[in-house]
Amino acid sequence: MRKKVLIIFIDSLPYFIIKKRNLYINDLGEVVPISPGLGYSINIYAELFAGLSPDEIGFFNKWIPNTRVYESNIFKDLFFNILDYSRISPLLSRILHIIYGKLTKKGNIANIPFSYLKYFQKKENMDIFFTKKFPTIFNEFNLELCLSPFFKKRIGENDQKAYEMALNHVKSGKNVFLMLGDLDGISHIHGLESEYYNSYIEKLDQMCSTIIEEFKKENGDKSEIVVLSDHGMANVNEGIKINLERNFGKIGWNSYLYFLDSTYLRIWLMDQSLAPDIEEFLKGLKNGILLDDDLRNKYGITNRKFGDYIFILNEGKVFFPGFMGGRLVKAMHGYLPDFESQKGIFIHSNLYNVDIAPKSCKEVYNYIRGIMK
């Protein structure tokens, strides 16, 4: 008879956290560390579930330069310039961004300076679960998707809803993909090893235990169970302030664009005469590294539409104030994958030879396809 598959995906669950705890999932099978590529979830999901690097899928991170023509409006521009003074207080700026996003129905516009919003657009993280543009484990195989981010409740409540949905599908004898996504937000807000974080790890483990045991009861020897995560997490110890405008003037279609994305600074050049000064500036920055051509090739981000320059901070640092949240996060991911803190997990209940286990997120796709065929 055909095997039944249960995949539990836990966003931001670090290998180094799991290995030092006595958890149910540690006894499910060998816990293998897997290395993410560069970027955030929108790209790591593409690696895990479609086997595609940023170059292959055509985008890198969520926010990208706008391709639509912007019609200048003197009154709107003036209003946004006034609102930008709120950046004196990143938290106030974030509140105003939330209000603006709701009033205009634009949704989450992060914390991008209001006068800079016209230069950027975003892709949605969850597209990978529903696309038919390229093969994924979701459009190739019959999986019931239970995705916590779609419930849009408070952090800690979304996972419960997705878990309950998945448990019902398991009891109905279906193949299930369960995404538990709240740990990512809990990590950012509370940090690693906080009381809330530790208790939530235990809660996630209990969810896994209950649904896996139910799945085994329903399917017996036909059971194929995978538990995995996309990346790890590191505690933040410093916010890095940077002011490109002071050195190169305000951004614009005739000069340059930049985006401060927590651990990444990306710069797009429209005026190539700025290149020598900007490159010298970036190479002189401490607390991080300017990715050279070799590293960009290694991680599959050679396409210049991802940024003429990509600078990434050292572990434990984030750009603050930046273009994302209104407060300094307590933990972050998106650093170089070589750091042990950045490694996620991969567990397969029927893995008997660790040597054939995936070592990177990009290898997970073909491994899971092999299980499900």
pLDDT digits (tens, 9 = 90+) for 163-204: 999 999 999 999 999 999 999 999 999 999 899 999 999 999
Domain boundaries, the chain: 4-57+127-234+336-372, 63-122+237-328
Could you give the CA distance from residue 253 to residue 220 in angstroms, rounded to a whole number? 61
Could you give the CA distance from residue 336 to residue 152 in angstroms, rounded to a whole number? 30
Rg (alpha carbons) of the chain, rounded to whole number:
21
Closest to 231 (Cα-Cα) out of 311, 149, 127, 339: 339
Angle between helices 182-190 and 158-171 (to 10 degrees): 160
Count other C-beta atoms under 10 Å from residue 159's C-beta. Answer: 27
The SS3 of residue 11 is: coil
How much is the pLDDT for 71? Answer: 66
Contact 187, 231 (CB under 8 A): no
The pair of structure tokens assigned to 306 is: 């991802």
Beta pairing, strands 4-10 & 176-180: parallel
How much is the pLDDT for 200? Answer: 97
Q: What are phi and psi of 244, to 5 degrees?
A: -70, -30
Beta pairing, strands 4-10 & 331-332: unpaired
Which stretch of 52-61, 86-95, 240-249 has the lowest confidence by average pLDDT?
Answer: 86-95
Q: Which helix (H) or strand (E) holds 134?
A: none
Give residue 123's pLDDT band: very low, low, confident or very high (50, 70, 90). Answer: confident
| CA distance to 181, 186, 215, 309, 345, per residue, from 12 (Å) | 8, 10, 24, 27, 9
Could you give the CA distance from residue 187 to residue 344 in angstroms, rounded to a whole number? 14
Give residue 70's pLDDT band: very low, low, confident or very high (50, 70, 90). Answer: low
- Domain 4-57+127-234+336-372 belongs to what topology? Alkaline Phosphatase, subunit A (3.40.720)
Q: Which helix (H) or strand (E) holds 278?
A: helix 275-283
The arithmetic mean of pLDDT across residues 88-103, rounded, is 89
Q: Please tell me which residue, 110 or 348, carries the higher pLDDT value.
A: 348
Q: What is the 3-state secondary structure (H, E, C) of 40-109?
A: CHHHHHHHHHHCCCHHHHCCCCCEEECCCCCCCCHHHHHHHHHHHHHHHCHHHHHHHHHHHHHHCCCCCC
How much is the pLDDT for 84? Answer: 86
Give residue 372's pLDDT band: very low, low, confident or very high (50, 70, 90). Answer: confident
Closest to 43 (Cα-Cα) out of 241, 225, 261, 246: 261
For residue 286, pLDDT beyond 70: yes
Angle between helices 195-219 and 158-171 (to 10 degrees): 10
User: Which amino acid is located at 311 in the chain?
Assistant: F
How much is the pLDDT for 81? Answer: 87
How much is the pLDDT for 1? Answer: 41
Could you give the CA distance from residue 270 to residue 2 in angstroms, rounded to a whole number? 56
Q: What is the pLDDT of residues 20-42, one digit of tens each?
A: 899 999 999 999 999 999 999 99
Side-chain-facing half-sphere of 338: CA atoms under 13 Å: 6
The mean pLDDT value of the chain amounts to: 93
Give me the helices (H) in 106-243, please.
137-140, 158-171, 182-190, 195-219
Q: Please tell me which residue, 15 or 123, carries the higher pLDDT value.
A: 15
Residue carrying the six token digits 């901070």: 313
Could you give the CA distance from residue 264 to residue 282 in angstroms, rounded to a whole number? 12
Strand order, beta sheet including 256-261: 256-261, 264-269, 309-313, 288-290
